[in-house]
Amino acid sequence: MKHFILISTMLLQSLVAADRPNILWFVVEDMSSHFAYNGEKSVNTPHVDRLAREGTIFSNAYVTAPVCSTSRSAMITGMYQTTIGAHHHRSSQGEEKIHLPKHVKTVPELFKEAGYYTCNGSAEGKVGKRDYNFVHDYKKMYDGADWSGKKVGQPFFAQVQLKGGKRRNQVKKDIIKKLYDPVKVGYFELPPYYAPIKEVEEDWAAYLNTVQFVDLQVGKILERLEKENELDNTLIIFMTDHGVSHVRGKQFCYDEGAKVPFIVWAPKKIKAALRDELILHIDMAATSLHFAGIDIPDYMQARTLFGKQAKEREYIVSARDRCDETVDRIRGVRKGSFKYIRNFYPERPYLQPCAYKDAKVFMQPLKDYYAAGKMNSIQALAFQSTRPAEELYELNNDQWEIKNLAGDKAYEDKLVEMRELLNKWVKESHDLGQSPESEAMFNSDMKVYVDKIKKNAPARAKIIEDNIAQMKKWAKEGK
């Protein structure tokens, strides 16, 4: 009798699990869509290509913020970071804290309440990156680093965090490239706005090698799921937290920074397809809840991409605010083939002082190249001392966002339309970035940031302090 009860219980659990699939998110850092499935010929990415071949590819996916902590804060709540006050990068680090609105719950909490085993880990099985800009309780959100601790028949919600483009320095040290044929300089094309100098080309090759390494990591996770008989009942979403960390990429609302790969894989539940409608990365939150049979909260700004509740977006918005010590406010809107960008600090240079980006191996060589007058007009775009208040691009004919149409009378009506669209979004979404960050919050976060850097790199900490002083000076000048 006991054996019968045990068998019946296990059967019931397996049936419940079959109706409630595992949900697994691959979240890759600092990477645009440079995968073979997307046309990048210099890389070999068979595992991600498999997900793309057997899953649904969303070819026009954008993050709501082109920098990690703000993007992740949005991702884990299904909300615009600008709506919940989490729009400044690495905020809530010091004495001044940001709390989520009382009615907002994180996605892991919703899964946990529904009986899922929740985990956040890495390819190495360790606790994975969170980087949320608000106060949160890890134990309330997650049960462990991976799903090994779940009960028999219990479905899991897992995030697998992969370092992606952040491994570029390791690639250069031969830690990674021994595992496959490395991408070499000369086997790829740089975007036309980057001068093809040695430092840029070597760094781009290293970046493409991290794309291949990500694919190896994805393959190992898929292999584990298959061995554990979990793969067939797992819905996988593969995406990156923003684009490649480069001059015009990460931290900017151009496609290099805001457009990301996005694949939903579940062959038992959805057919392979290529969809080109505009989506946001936060939509993974609502989509995951949909497939798990969990009600999508009414407050959530994310939209499910499947099912009866699915509704296409008319337009998408990406937003950039303070990144580390660098104060900024940029909003980017895409509707159809048009991209509109508004720079709220046009009198400041494109490349404001930022210790993080200025330390990149390619940055100073590029600045020297510009100072020597060697750049053409396209390569020099990002090195101007001011920037236009408005930018407008037609992406079908200008994929690199080079020709600004904002001053072209032929596109005056389109400019007005896109401007009004952004104004509408700012109001309807309650964009908290309209008001500058309080001095108390800025000082609180900067103290933690500087103190942390001072321990190992006092010279860099001094640069950050100088940049902070510059930000405050420009603010007083109304610049």
The domain segmentation of the chain, as residue ranges, is 2-308
Which segments of 302-393 does DSSP mark as H helices, in order? 355-358, 363-371
Bridge partners, 441 (sequence order)? none
Of 299, 342, 298, 347, nearest to 317 by C-alpha is 342
**pLDDT tens per residue across span 9-32:** 344 344 444 579 999 999 999 999
Query: Which pLDDT value is given to residue 9?
Result: 38
CATH of the structural domain 2-308, one choice from 2.170.8.10, 3.30.465.10, 3.40.720.10, 3.40.50.11310: 3.40.720.10
Q: What are phi and psi of 195, to 5 degrees?
A: -65, 135
- Of residues 68, 253, 323, 354, which has the active-site annotation? 68
Cα–Cα distance measured from residue 166 to residue 164, given in angstroms and rounded to the nearest whole number: 5
User: How buried is 263 (Cβ within 10 angstroms: 0-12 exposed, 13-18 middle, 19+ buried)?
Assistant: buried
Q: Is 397 helix (H, G, I), strand (E, B) or coil?
A: coil
Please say whether the beta carbons of 109 and 141 come within 8 A: yes
Please say whether the beta carbons of 151 and 116 come within 8 A: no
- What distance separates the 2 farthest-apart alpha carbons in the chain? 86
pLDDT tens by residue, the chain, 479 residues: 444 444 433 443 444 445 799 999 999 999 999 999 999 999 999 999 999 999 999 999 999 999 999 999 999 999 999 999 999 999 999 999 999 999 999 999 999 999 999 999 998 889 989 999 999 999 999 999 999 999 999 999 999 999 999 998 776 665 555 666 777 887 899 999 999 999 999 999 999 999 999 999 999 999 999 999 999 999 999 999 999 999 999 999 999 999 999 999 999 999 999 999 999 999 999 999 999 999 999 999 999 999 999 999 999 999 999 999 999 999 999 999 999 999 999 999 999 999 999 999 999 999 999 999 999 999 999 999 999 999 999 999 999 999 999 999 999 999 999 999 999 999 999 999 999 999 999 999 999 999 999 999 999 999 999 999 999 999 999 99
**pLDDT tens per residue across span 406-461:** 999 999 999 999 999 999 999 999 999 999 999 999 999 999 999 999 999 999 99
- How far does Cα 266 stand from its chain's mean position? 22
Cα–Cα distance measured from residue 164 to residue 122, given in angstroms and rounded to the nearest whole number: 11
Q: Is 97 helix (H, G, I), strand (E, B) or coil?
A: coil
68 is catalytic: yes
